[in-house]
Amino acid sequence: MALHTLLGMEIGVPEPEGLDAFYAEIGLSGGKGAWGGEDWPGQIRVVEAPYRQLMSMRIACETEEDLASAESGISELGVASRRADGGLEFEDPINGWRVRVEPAEKGDVAPQPERVRNRPGVRARTDARAELIVEQNPRPPRRLGHIVVGSPKPLETTPIYRALGFRVSDVVGGGIATFMRCSPDHHNLLIAPGRVPYLNHYALEHDDFDSVARAATLYLRNHEDDRQVAGPGRHQIGGNEFWYMLDPSGNIFEFFSDMDRIEDDESWKPRDDWDLEDSWSLWGEKRQPEIFFNPPDMDAIVAGYEKAQAG
């Protein structure tokens, strides 16, 4: 497995200080434009930009040979790249965001104590209240798990990341949306359609669904529910439990837990026959809300993108 981790991303927004306050509110560690879980500091970086957008993403590989393979793969597609500070860097020629691949050690977040649960026939918690009830503070998000991007040319974008070393996990609509992984997670990157290149949403992993639900509920209570997007539910593609909300810059963010894990690439068979009318969630809302396809600030994103392209 040459690529092995989504190291991070950089987001551009008009008022980055709003995201600093937000990340502190939801329990991430860091400050001044650099945030992450306790074990993954600085995974999310925030800079000022004229409209909200994905600026860059960082991916880890195993060795120098993997860098050479990635460089060769995208070069065959005519994508120019350069070596810098021990890594490989290029600008996505279709969407404009920057991508960096660099060698790094494999790792994961440190495991937290698993909450003891009672189930029929297995009564593991006795003479004690549920741990969630007595926890003094909510468990924070652990790491950035995946990024979903919109592209005006998704069918042409996907081959670039496959050449870089991403593996395809599942395909929707004949390739109009492709779930890809650079780690054992079912997906670290989803490329979907968009009027212009934009950040559709990003996802933060929690320990379990209790953590997802508690964190989401507290956040929505603090903001009078006007930032609710979708959830709770469990995705059929990827298998993860989810809850989606809006951050103060208008980005959709997801709290998730329990995603499918693919350790043996040969054993996983991607599906391309998902029913578009019934593949969003096993329970909860049946259909994906319209905001994922047409966010409220889409016109502003399009205008900002077109102005930047015009120079």
- The whole-number average pLDDT for the span 276-283 is 91
* pLDDT for position 182: 98
What CA–CA distances, in Å, run from 253 to 9, 194, 196? Answer: 13, 17, 19
CA-closest candidate to residue 206, choices 235, 168, 240, 231: 240
- Rounded Cα distance between 57 and 157, Å, is 15
The four Cα atoms 175, 181, 185, 190 give a dihedral, to 10 degrees, of: -50
pLDDT tens per residue, range 125-139: 999 999 999 988 889
* pLDDT for position 43: 98
In order of their start, the domains of the chain are 3-106+139-306 (3.10.180.10)
- Rounded Cα distance between 81 and 124, Å, is 55
Question: What's the whole-model pTM score?
Answer: 0.97
Q: What is the CB neighbour count within 10 angstroms for residue 102?
A: 17
- The whole-number average pLDDT for the span 91-111 is 96
4: which residues sit within 8 A by CB, 6+ positions away? Answer: 60, 61, 62, 104, 106, 182, 183
Q: Does residue 245 surpass a pLDDT of 70?
A: yes
- State the burial class of residue 152 (Cβ atoms within 10 Å of its Cβ: 0-12, 13-18, 19+): middle
Q: Is the peptide bond before 184 cis (omega within 30 degrees of 0)?
A: no
* pLDDT for position 137: 87
pLDDT > 70 fraction of the chain, expressed in percent and rounded: 100
- The whole-number average pLDDT for the span 98-108 is 96
Q: Does residue 258 surpass a pLDDT of 80?
A: yes
- The whole-number average pLDDT for the span 267-271 is 96
- The whole-number average pLDDT for the span 8-13 is 98
Q: Does residue 150 surpass a pLDDT of 80?
A: yes
| Token duo for residue 83 | 């070596």
| Residue 246 one-letter amino acid | L
- The residues with which 12 forms a beta bridge, in sequence order, are 47, 53
What CA–CA distances, in Å, run from 137 to 72, 160, 204, 277? Answer: 48, 43, 18, 39
* pLDDT for position 246: 97
Backbone angles phi, psi at 13, to 5 degrees: -145, 155
- Rounded Cα distance between 291 and 200, Å, is 10
* Per-residue pLDDT band at 1 (split at 50, 70, 90): low
pLDDT tens per residue, range 197-242: 999 999 999 999 999 999 999 999 999 878 999 999 999 999 999 9
pLDDT tens per residue, range 166-199: 999 999 998 899 999 999 999 999 999 999 999 9
- The whole-number average pLDDT for the span 283-304 is 95
User: Tokens 């779930």, residue?
Assistant: 179
* pLDDT for position 142: 98
137: which residues sit within 8 A by CB, 6+ positions away? Answer: none
